[in-house]
């Protein structure tokens, strides 16, 4: 392989070919593909990003944008000798604008750093996910991240007023700024959000901020399974006179995985058997006993078997940790195949019923279900049995996936609620997007990146 271009590029911008860096920056959280990038570049500002892209366009070099590498769909994987472009040095973090409640930040600032930056003003960027310590604002926007507060605030795309984006030919676009109302033609900023690094590289963003919720109430409730969890949600929505911040679900085996991997006790105390499932509910505001009244009602109706109410912020953190640590804990148990699906909340019971009866038995391993129940979003994880060969396992999962996607198609659901398509879910795209829509996506891609050099092979093939 000719590598002269790497030396040439390395003379202009910080670049690494260290084997450890190639391994680290050539992959995300998925473990399906072997990382094989040619090199990793670390631009220090947007102009350097443009210079790199222009250089790569001229030399026909494929580029993979890389954020915090917490992605779960192999969107940031470089397995074909691509150049990885890390955004981690774009770390300018501006002051909060106290009039418009906005904040301008470099793409490489982590989600958590943004939260900490605004917290002392009683403000937050309400995009909140368990990977917040590592995922970056650029990655959050490139994936249109969801997370635990979508129920209340919606996805990341609702919390952006401006975006700076570098195109593959080196053009730098400034799409909006801190102005809140701005209807001037088609919104290219929204086109870039969620495009998984195939249309442009986000270098900077102006984020909208929300008031940090005060008087947080957190309940951790034992339920008899998904249907009971959904019934509880219906009750909370209709009878609960309170604002839900989060409504999260986890099956018993997910809870067991957290207890084992993190070495923590059962949230319900004692050494008795765990319930079939648990629901974590967060509610905001002063409630004047409303939450207690609701809890009494659902206990009386036997929708809840057991429950805990957080009494302090330490309690809140402790209970949230059971939910936040699921992905990481499952990862420690062994190889996992992941699906991240959604259906209308009202059809979730029907979906789960068919999933359990018809689709689950076709997967070559045990299913671990958890997710953002309030959004109709379930993470379906399949554990590789220790005796099964990995290739055989992935192949078996792929076959079962097709049945899962057929079911989703029938119910009008989505094959990717939050994680995106990347490399991993390409075969699923057609179940949630029609041929004309995919053709239009391809046309947009070709207009911006005619040679297909930016994050090639992700989302669809050209």
Ligand X SMILES: Cc1cc2nc3c(=O)[nH]c(=O)nc-3n(C[C@H](O)[C@H](O)[C@H](O)COP(=O)(O)OP(=O)(O)OC[C@H]3O[C@@H](n4cnc5c(N)ncnc54)[C@H](O)[C@@H]3O)c2cc1C
* 69 is an interface residue for ligand X by CB under 6 A: yes
Pick the closest to residue 156 from 125, 181, 131 (CA basis): 125
Element (H, E) at 340: strand 336-342
Short-list 238, 239, 243, 241, CA closest to 217:
243
Q: Which is nearer to ligand X, 161 or 381 (CB)?
A: 381
Position 92 contacts ligand X (CB under 6 A):
no
- Note whether 129 binds ligand X by CB under 6 A: yes
Residues 382-401 that bind ligand X (CB under 6 A): none
Give the closest residue to 415 by CA, choosing from 356, 340, 351: 340
329 sits near ligand X (criterion: CB under 6 A): no
Give, as ranges, the residues between 19 and 48 that touch ligand X (CB under 6 A): 28-29
Interactions with ligand X, residue window 133-162 (CB under 6 A): 135-136, 138-140, 142-143, 145-147
Give 70 or 161: the residue with its C-beta nearer to ligand X: 70
Instruction: Give min distance, CB of 77 to ligand X, in A.
Output: 8
The least distance separating ligand X from the CB of residue 369, rounded to whole angstroms, comes to 15
Q: Which residues on adjacent β-strands are paired with residue 104? A: 206
Whether the Cβ atoms of residue 432 and residue 343 lie closer than 8 Å to each other: no
Task: For residue 343, report the phi and psi dihedrals to the nearest 5 degrees.
Answer: -135, 165
Binding residues with ligand X: total (CB under 6 A)? 39
Per CB under 6 A, 197 contacts ligand X: yes
229-268 positions binding ligand X, by CB under 6 A: none
Which DSSP state fits 230? H
Contact flag: residue 126 with ligand X (CB under 6 A): no
For residue 132, the minimal CB distance to ligand X (Å) is: 8
Q: What are phi and psi of 339, to 5 degrees?
A: -130, 150
Segment interacting with ligand X (CB under 6 A) among 40-48, 196-204, 249-257, 276-284 = 196-204
CA distance 433 to 373: 23
Q: Per CB under 6 A, does 365 bind ligand X?
A: no
Which string of DSSP letters, residue by residue, matches 27-42?
--S--SS----SEEE-
Binding ligand X by CB under 6 A: which of 76, 175, 246, 281? 76
Distance of CA 312 to the CA centre of its chain: 28
Binders of ligand X among residues 436 to 455 (CB under 6 A) are 455
Token pair in block for residue 394: 């992935």
Tell me the C-alpha distance between 81 and 83, whole Å: 7
- Considering only residues 21, 113, 169, 328, which one is a binding residue for ligand X as defined by CB under 6 A? 328
The runs of H, that is alpha helices, within 306-434 are 313-324, 326-333, 348-354, 390-411, 429-432
Q: CA-CA distance, 55 to 49, in Å (whole number)?
A: 10
Question: Is the CB of 135 or the CB of 236 nearer to ligand X?
Answer: 135
Residues that bind ligand X (CB under 6 A): 28-29, 64-72, 75-76, 87, 107, 129-131, 135-136, 138-140, 142-143, 145-147, 196-197, 201-202, 327-328, 418-419, 422, 455, 458
């Amino acid at each position: 392989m000719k590598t002269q271009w790497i030396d040439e590029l390395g003379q202009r911008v910080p670049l690494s070919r260290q084997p450890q860096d190639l391994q680290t920056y050539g992959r995300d959280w998925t473990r399906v593909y072997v990382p094989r990038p040619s090199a990793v570049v670390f631009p220090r500002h947007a102009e350097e990003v443009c210079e790199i892209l222009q250089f790569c366009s001229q030399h026909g070099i494929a580029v993979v944008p890389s954020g915090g590498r917490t992605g779960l769909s192999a969107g940031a994987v470089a397995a074909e000798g691509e150049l990885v472009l890390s955004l981690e040095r774009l770390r300018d973090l501006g002051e909060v604008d106290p009039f418009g409640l906005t904040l301008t930040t470099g793409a490489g600032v982590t989600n958590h750093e943004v939260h900490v930056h605004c917290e002392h003003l009683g403000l937050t960027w309400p995009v909140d996910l368990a990977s917040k310590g590592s995922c970056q604002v650029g990655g959050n926007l490139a994936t249109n991240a969801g997370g635990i507060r979508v129920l209340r605030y919606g996805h990341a795309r609702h919390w952006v007023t401006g975006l700076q984006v570098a195109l593959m030919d080196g053009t730098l676009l400034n799409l909006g700024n801190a102005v809140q109302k701005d209807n001037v033609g088609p919104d290219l900023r929204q086109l870039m959000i969620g495009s998984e690094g195939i249309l442009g590289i986000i270098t900077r963003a102006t984020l909208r901020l929300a008031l940090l919720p005060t008087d947080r109430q957190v309940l951790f409730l034992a339920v008899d399974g998904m249907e009971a969890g959904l019934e509880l949600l219906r009750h909370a929505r209709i009878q609960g006179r309170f604002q839900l911040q989060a409504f999260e679900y986890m099956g018993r085996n997910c809870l067991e995985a957290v207890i084992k991997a993190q070495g923590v006790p059962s949230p319900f105390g004692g050494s008795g058997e765990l319930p079939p499932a648990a629901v974590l509910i967060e509610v905001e505001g002063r409630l004047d006993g409303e939450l207690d009244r609701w809890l009494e009602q659902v206990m009386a109706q036997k929708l809840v078997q057991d429950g805990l109410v957080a009494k302090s912020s330490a309690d809140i953190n402790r209970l949230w940790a059971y939910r936040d640590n699921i992905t990481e804990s499952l990862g420690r148990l062994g190889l996992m195949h992941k699906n991240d699906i959604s259906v209308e909340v009202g059809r979730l019971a029907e979906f789960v019923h068919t999933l359990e009866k018809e689709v689950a038995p076709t997967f070559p391993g045990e299913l671990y279900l958890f997710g953002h129940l309030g959004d109709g979003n379930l993470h379906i994880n399949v554990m590789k049995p220790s005796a099964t060969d990995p290739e055989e396992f992935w192949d078996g999962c792929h076959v079962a996936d097709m049945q899962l996607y057929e079911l989703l198609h029938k119910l009008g659901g989505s094959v990717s609620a939050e994680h995106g398509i990347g490399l991993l879910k390409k075969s699923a795209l057609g179940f949630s997007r029609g041929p004309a829509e995919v053709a239009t996506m391809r046309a947009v891609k070709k207009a911006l990146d005619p040679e297909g050099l930016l994050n090639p092979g992700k989302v669809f093939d050209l």
